[in-house]
Chains A and B, each alone.
Chain A
Amino acid sequence: KAGVTQTPRYLIKTRGQQVTLSCSPISGHRSVSWYQQTPGQGLQFLFEYFSETQRNKGNFPGRFSGRQFSNSRSEMNVSTLELGDSALYLCASSPDRGRLSYGYTFGSGTRLTVV
């Protein structure tokens, strides 16, 4: 069974640009969540999608957005990049619909560097 696939692995962008990150969940998983990981703030929840609908959203500005397609693949977009957006962005998939009893399966992440 293929794992969670995130592309690209690494990105370097200039301040003010926008970026789109992609995530393909494990086959059969309909829930996709995104997390930002930084040394200073640790892991912070961005949003969760289930069946193409955003179910939960973290405390990030509107520059951070996402979507999910009918095949459960998800993208997140960050517009008007700031230096502080440099982070590892992790995608996670889960088969759950209710409580998160089984945890997530994470991808390897996309390392975004904003210069």
Chain B
Amino acid sequence: GNSVTQMEGPVTLSEEAFLTINCTYTATGYPSLFWYVQYPGEGLQLLLKATKADDKGSNKGFEATYRKETTSFHLEKGSVQVSDSAVYFCALNAGNNRKLIWGLGTSLAVNP
């Protein structure tokens, strides 16, 4: 079946450090891929998405490229800020089934 695997957290970085959160997936066909972010006490916000191979999603300095050959969608940011501290979720949607399949989330803490 379809699944998403994220690197385990927590990830702790200093401000202005480079961030990578790994995400790999298993899916039939050509899924759409998403990164969501959850700030403490809040719901989930769509951070970026990609719907076909080699697409790059980007938003707020975050980027992720849909790599079909490695079935990956790693999240990157060149210089993190304290305000980026949150939990990040990778997710996919495959076929005509409209539900999202989620990774378990990666907690990020950025220290000043």
Contact = CB atoms under 8 A, between A and B. Distances in A.
Nearest to B89: A43
A107 B51 CA distance: 23
B43 A101 contact: no
Contacts of A109: 42-43
Interface stretch (A61-69, A79-87, A92-100): A92-100
Nearest to A111: B41
Nearest to A48: B98
Contacts of B103: 42
Nearest to B33: A103
Given A100-B93, A106-B45, A109-B43, A42 B99 contact: no
Contacts of A58: 99
B45 A104 contact: no
Sort chain B's interface into a size bin. Answer: 20 to 34
Interface string B92-103: 010111111011
Most buried by B among A100, A101, A105: A100
A31 interface: yes
A107 B100 contact: no
Interface residues of A, number: 28
Contacts of A43: 89, 91, 100, 102
A83 B44 CA distance: 24
B42 A45 contact: no
Interface of B: 32, 34, 36, 42-46, 49, 51, 89, 91, 93, 95-100, 102-105
Interface of A: 4, 6, 31, 33, 35, 42-43, 45, 48, 55-56, 58, 90, 92, 94, 96, 98-109
30 contacts: A33-B98, A35-B100, A42-B102, A42-B104, A42-B105, A43-B89, A43-B100, A43-B102, A45-B99, A45-B100, A48-B99, A58-B99, A90-B44, A96-B98, A99-B32, A99-B93, A100-B98, A100-B100, A101-B49, A101-B93, A102-B49, A103-B32, A103-B36, A103-B46, A103-B49, A104-B44, A108-B42, A108-B43, A109-B42, A109-B43
Given A94-B98, A100-B100, 13 more contacts: A33-B99, A43-B89, A43-B91, A48-B99, A56-B99, A99-B96, A100-B32, A101-B49, A106-B43, A106-B44, A106-B45, A107-B43, A108-B42
